């Protein structure tokens, strides 16, 4: 049993086949349709689809004009792509600690890390639970910062009645198979700022002012490359899949929440395994079901728990090691051990349990049963 997995039905398959037969494999109508669907789902004006969540973060950093010398505050517990995007743009990631109960960015620690060079703050909706966007907006406004949401975990979630994607100046999604919806590989940036959308659109197409389809429509061959961009385009085949997946997203989120509830109830009786805190003013997308192990009480380390569960065929995982502890970051930014104590302490106790829409209640009960045996002598 894996920790996460896509759900593909016949309608998804048909949509891909139709796209293959349509004559447009890329830069065609499915791209626009998927972008319109995404923006309307999130309640934003614009969506720009790209070929990964990482590309979306890179485009976001470019579009808000992160440059050499700029600092961007990011949480220590995230996928490295969040802070890598800051580096791609020439900026410097500055790591903020997380709240020990939710693993969401700690606003007072983040604020203490603001300097005259800080340009933006990038929040991460860890596990699918939106951060405190009201507090983040106030923090950003106090210091004149741009607010980015790495919402790669939280598509379909909401905060005080507003959808994930509409909570920051610019938000990014990933459509990797383990994420909320999938296009194989893929991602998107959503925003209501026209200049951010325009800049991202150009950035995903080499920095060129028009695309192939627009030129075909206008009967023109001339184009101008205004900035240095990339080929980050998402194909029509993938966008067709994205549209049927997006239509299924509410049912995915509903199913994930049902399974999460079952985990909460079952874990009450399991010694030494605690879920993260769920906050009441937001709807969680349940990308991950992460728990904290009381390793002293269980008498085993997280890594031992991990291998025992893997031996029992339970596909547990760990999300994430504090980013600055990776070799590349140590080489690039130096030894930062100790700067985010809550993140470092959580990392030693963190474990992600399997959770995906097609998981059955019996699968979940198997996971819980295996957890009850963790403290048993070998």
Ligand X SMILES: *Cc1c(COP(=O)(O)O)cnc(C)c1O
From the candidates 21, 113, 119, 179, give the one annotated as an active-site residue: 179
Q: Site for ligand X (CB under 6 A): which residue of 82, 191, 199, 205?
A: 82
What is the nearest approach in angstroms of ligand X to the Cβ of residue 229? 17
Q: Which residue, 52 or 205, has its beta carbon nearer to ligand X?
A: 52
Contact call for residue 79 and ligand X (CB under 6 A): yes
Residues contacting ligand X: total by CB under 6 A: 14
Shorter beta-carbon distance to ligand X: residue 44 or 174? 174
Residues from 249 through 278 that contact ligand X (CB under 6 A): none
Cis-peptide into 366, omega within 30 deg? no
Bridge partners of 172?
150, 189
Q: For residue 186, which of 225, 234, 143 has the smallest C-alpha distance? A: 234
Strand partners, 122: 148
Q: Tell the smallest beta-carbon distance from residue 320 to ligand X (Å).
A: 8
Q: Give the interface segment with ligand X, choosing from 77-85, 198-206, 231-239, 272-280 (CB under 6 A).
A: 77-85
179 is catalytic: yes
Q: Which stretch binds ligand X (CB under 6 A): 61-69, 150-158, 206-214, 359-367?
A: 150-158
Q: Can you tell me the distance from the alpha carbon of 239 to that of 157, in angstroms, rounded to the nearest whole number?
A: 21
Q: Least distance from C-beta 150 to ligand X, angstroms? A: 5
Sheet hosting strand 350-353, strand order edge to edge: 273-275, 289-293, 350-353
Strands (E), the chain: 46-50, 71-75, 92-96, 118-124, 146-150, 158-159, 162-163, 170-174, 187-191, 273-275, 282-283, 289-293, 350-353
Query: Using CB under 6 A, which of 44, 174, 317, 352 touches ligand X?
Result: 174
Residue whose Cβ sits closest to ligand X = 53
Query: What is the Cα–Cα distance from 245 to 235, expressed in whole angstroms?
Result: 15
Rule CB under 6 A: choose which of 1, 64, 121, 152 binds ligand X: 152
* Count of CB atoms situated within 10 Å of the CB of 349: 20
42 Cα distance to chain centroid: 15
State which of residues 46, 153, 233, 243 lies at the interface with ligand X (CB under 6 A). Answer: 153
Is residue 244 close enough to count as binding ligand X by CB under 6 A? no
Are 145 and 118 in contact, with CB atoms under 8 Å apart? yes
Write the burial class of residue 338 (CB in 10 Å: 0-12 exposed, 13-18 middle, 19+ buried): exposed
Q: Is 52 in the site for ligand X (CB under 6 A)?
A: yes
Residue ranges in contact with ligand X by CB under 6 A: 52-54, 78-79, 81-82, 124, 150, 152-153, 174, 176, 187
Query: What residues are annotated to the active site?
Result: 179
């Amino acid at each position: 049993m894996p920790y996460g997995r896509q759900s593909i039905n016949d309608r998804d398959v048909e949509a891909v086949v139709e796209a293959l037969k349509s004559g447009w494999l890329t830069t065609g109508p499915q791209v626009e349709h998927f972008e319109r669907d995404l923006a309307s789902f999130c309640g934003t004006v614009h969506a720009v689809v790209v070929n990964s969540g990482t590309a979306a973060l890179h485009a976001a950093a470019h579009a808000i004009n992160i440059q050499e010398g700029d600092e961007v505050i990011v949480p220590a517990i995230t996928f490295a792509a969040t802070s890598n995007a800051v580096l791609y743009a020439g900026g410097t990631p500055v790591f903020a600690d997380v709240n020990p109960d939710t693993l969401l960015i700690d606003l007072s620690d983040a604020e203490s890390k603001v300097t005259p060079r800080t340009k933006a703050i990038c929040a991460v909706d860890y596990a699918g639970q939106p951060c405190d966007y009201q507090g983040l907006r106030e923090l950003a406004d106090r210091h004149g910062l741009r607010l980015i949401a790495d919402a790669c975990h939280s598509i379909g979630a909401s905060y005080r009645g507003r959808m994930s994607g509409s909570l920051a100046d610019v938000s990014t999604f990933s459509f990797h198979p383990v994420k909320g919806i999938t296009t194989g590989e893929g991602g998107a940036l959503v925003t209501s700022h026209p200049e951010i959308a325009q800049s991202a659109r150009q950035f995903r197409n080499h920095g060129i002012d028009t695309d192939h389809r627009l030129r075909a429509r206008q009967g023109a061959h001339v184009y101008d490359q205004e900035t240095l961009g990339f080929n980050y385009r998402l194909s029509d085949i993938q966008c067709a899949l994205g549209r049927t997946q997006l239509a299924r997203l509410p049912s995915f989120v509903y199913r994930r929440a049902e399974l999460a509830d079952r985990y909460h109830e079952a874990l009450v009786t399991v010694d030494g395994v605690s879920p993260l805190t769920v906050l009441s003013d937001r709807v969680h997308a349940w990308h991950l079901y992460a728990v904290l192990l009381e390793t002293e009480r269980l008498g085993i380390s997280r890594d031992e728990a991990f291998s025992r569960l893997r031996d029992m065929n339970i596909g547990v995982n760990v999300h994430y090691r504090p980013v600055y502890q990776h070799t590349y970051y140590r080489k690039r930014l130096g030894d930062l051990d100790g700067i985010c104590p809550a993140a470092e302490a959580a990392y030693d106790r963190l474990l992600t349990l399997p959770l995906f829409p097609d998981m059955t209640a019996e699968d979940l009960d198997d996971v819980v049963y295996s957890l009850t045996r963790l403290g048993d002598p070998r």
